[in-house]
Amino acid sequence: MKKRQLGNSGLEVSALGLGCMGLSFGYGPATDTKDGIALIRAAFERGVTFFDTAEAYGPFTNEELLGEALAPFRNEVVIATKFGFEGGDSKAGLNSKPENIRAFVEASLKRLRTDRIDLLYQHRVDPEVPIEDVAGTVKDLIRSGKVKYFGLSEAGVQTIRRAHAVQPVAALQSEYSLWFRETEDEIIPTLEELGIGFVPFSPLGKGFLTGKIDENTTFDKNDFRNIVPRFTAEARKANQAMVNLLGRIASEKEGTPAQIALAWLLAQKPWIVPIPGTTKLHRLEENLSVAAIELNPQDLAEIKEAASQITVEGARYPEALQNRVGK
């Protein structure tokens, strides 16, 4: 597994990380603890050194799972986690008050079985708390040694700039993939200017870009995708054009649609580190085999041209959740 630097921060991680949310939250029933630990350790054995979690995934259970799984090789990995919801509940309101951040860090360190958080993100921007107060609080936690690097998630350009002026932001985590590219307009140029790394979540379009989902697919009753406009049956049918594009390129490269989607992301900037998630070992191995796929400038130009002809149907979030992003 190749390594990448997240911007100018000095934080080095594996070129692909592992998004751990789906092991506990968001996509149906939680994975059995034993199986979750086995998958996380399998990722480490295959070269992954960057693991992503949050207090809200569960709440709390995903951090506990990660802490147990990574304990034997804690000093060989980078753990990223996130604060920012009332009581750790993503369905509750936002809370990035300094006292809440400090309390979260103390509790998170226990759940993660560690003495420091490598990368601490604000999960969503809290309009009630100035970002300067958030950044200042994390700056103090970095000085104390409890946190090493500061990150933001789904923040807008002005928030990124204001936070970075107080405490350098090592990484922004936001959605980015071939079927969600709004970040290319302002976010990516700003990150490049400021030397901030980019960690795309949902790099496989919440599973859609794997080619294993169509308009007839049904999801578990607790699966987040049931409320996502982009995952209505009509939208999935319309959006099949993107999967067909990936499938065509994949057949030429002797790969899979998922591998092409990840290879495309990795080719955009050297400081982009996607964090695909999975609960299945064979999918993990498929994702990590992306290193064998090489997209040359002609391939990238072809994908760009073809993708520009495809209109993606459906919003990526329901309205209530959309109001929490890009602030």
| 214 to 203, 223, 235: CA distances (angstroms) | 18, 16, 10
Residue 57 bears catalytic tag: yes
User: HEC profile for 274-316?
Assistant: CCCCCCCHHHHHHHHHHHHCCCCHHHHHHHHHHHHCCCCCCCC
Q: Which of 57, 121, 149, 176 is catalytic?
A: 57
- Ramachandran sector of residue 263 (left: φ over 0; alpha: ψ -120 to 50; beta: rest): alpha
Instruction: Give the torsion through C-alpha atoms of 180, 269, 242, 183, to 10 deg.
Output: 10
CB 111 within 8 A of CB 58: no
Encoded tokens for 207: 């599973």
CB 53 within 8 A of CB 20: yes
Q: Report which secondary-structure segment, H or E, holds 147.
A: strand 147-153
Question: Catalytic site residues?
Answer: 57
